[in-house]
Amino acid sequence: MSTPASDYRCYRHPDHEAYISCQRCERLICPECMREASVGFQCPSCIAEGARTVRSPRTIAGGAVSGRDGIVSMILIGINVAAYVLQVAMGDRNSAVFDDGALWGYGVANGDYWRLVTSAFLHGSILHLAFNMYALYLFGPFVERALGTWRFTAAYLTCAMTGSVLVYLLADPRINTIGASGAVFGLFAMALILLLRARQDVRGLLALLAINALISTQGNISWQGHLGGFLGGLVLGAAFAYAPRKHRTLVQVGVLAALWIAMIIAIVLRTNALLP
């Protein structure tokens, strides 16, 4: 006995004839509703349900995998270059950009707290800028891929701050300090931890760190900024690489928060020590 044609109707479009069943829910679907699947066809509802149940790929730190590798690193390079061009165009070290943005201990103590951040985007020379941006170009995308966009952005700014805060704590408050070196040394530290986590050869990176540590002790280079950024990077790198999977985000946010709280306390204590 044949089944009447009126029984072969699409469940989503009752006025359309349908002779194909969805491979997932087995309901009849018309050509308009047919979506090609790995085996046969599925209806739009089942395709959408399947997409919701598929877990998005995650980085080693738990961040979402970005289709634009290194985009934040390139943006940071652009900001640093633009800041230097503006600084030079307005008079370099005599410019308002330099005067208002450089890290000067007594300036911070008197309320210019933004200097702790803005100083990380200013540079003293084209060579100073080139060295830091080349390091950011080499290590930034690697760390960014491992952390994901938002974790990387937070980590970079935090390392810049840990570098600035150690400068504020230990350097002569009468001397200006500038440069992205604190953040860059933070990237070095995070890259080291991530490579160790992946059981990769780190001898080349350790040699680079040794050379930079030696350079940090020479001339007018701020070893405090380098050390502060590196220590911040070690703490964050450990949190991103080794946090238990089940509570990964909670641990990472907690470590970030703890670092910022510690920095705020240090800033308050140093400010009270500098003010009469």
Q: Which residue has the higher pLDDT, 220 or 73?
A: 73
Number of neighbours of residue 56 by Cβ within 10 angstroms: 6
One of 73, 164, 222, 226 is an active-site residue; which one?
226
| Architecture of the domain made up of 71-274 | Up-down Bundle (1.20)
pLDDT band at 59 (very low <50, low <70, confident <90, very high): low
| pLDDT number for residue 266 | 97
pTM: 0.78
Domain boundaries, given as residue ranges, for the chain: 5-53, 71-274
Fold equal for 5-53 and 71-274: no
Q: Is 181 part of the annotated catalytic residue set?
A: yes
Summarised one tens digit per residue, pLDDT across range 157-167 is 999 999 999 99
Q: Is 45 part of the annotated catalytic residue set?
A: no
Cα 231 from Cα 60, distance rounded (Å): 21
Q: Which of 129, 156, 161, 128 is nearest to 228 (CA)?
A: 161
Q: Which residue has the higher pLDDT, 251 or 21?
A: 251
- Report, as an integer, the average pLDDT of 211-233: 87
Kind of pairing between the strands at 41-42 and 103-104: unpaired
Fold of 5-53: Herpes Virus-1 (3.30.40)
One of 164, 181, 216, 222 is an active-site residue; which one?
181
Summarised one tens digit per residue, pLDDT across range 178-201 is 999 999 999 999 999 999 988 888
